[in-house]
Amino acid sequence: MSIWRTEVTPQLLERFSRGTFAERAGIRITEVGPDYLRATLPVTPAVHQPYGVLHGGVSVALAETVGSVAANLCIDMERQQCFGQEINANHLRSVASGVVTATARPYHIGSRSQVWGIEIRDEAGRLVCISRLTMAVVQRRETAS
């Protein structure tokens, strides 16, 4: 059974990313599973730290991107939205090139908060970074016309 409140495809989610940080960084949603969302990021010099490997902050940005998109797909987006409250990460292995893949899965999907676990792996399937993301679920405010 799917956890998503709406049917989505990677192509639809890619359209929402146009003009955002995710697009500029090269983050692409590649797979929507029944209980996970997957995204990729090419590891190029543009996302390196000065020592020639993937910048830890970019790993965190990738984790927050895929986790945030996933969280918002689990709510009634006409009435609610999710915002990141806290994220942590453990960097386990360096990567200098290739593509990393982030997979977000929920630990908790509640009416006021969500907690997501995100694993980032290299092309050999080795764990590069693990992250936990806590999202606040808030009611949308009506905008003044």
Q: Please give the positions annotated as active site.
A: 64
Query: CA end-to-end span of the chain, whole Å?
Result: 40
Pairwise CA distance, residues 130 & 87, whole Å: 11
DSSP codes, 56-121: HHHHHHHHHHHHHHHHHTTS-TTTEEEEEEEEEEEE-----SEEEEEEEEEEEE-SSEEEEEEEEE
Query: Token digits for 124?
Result: 């050999």
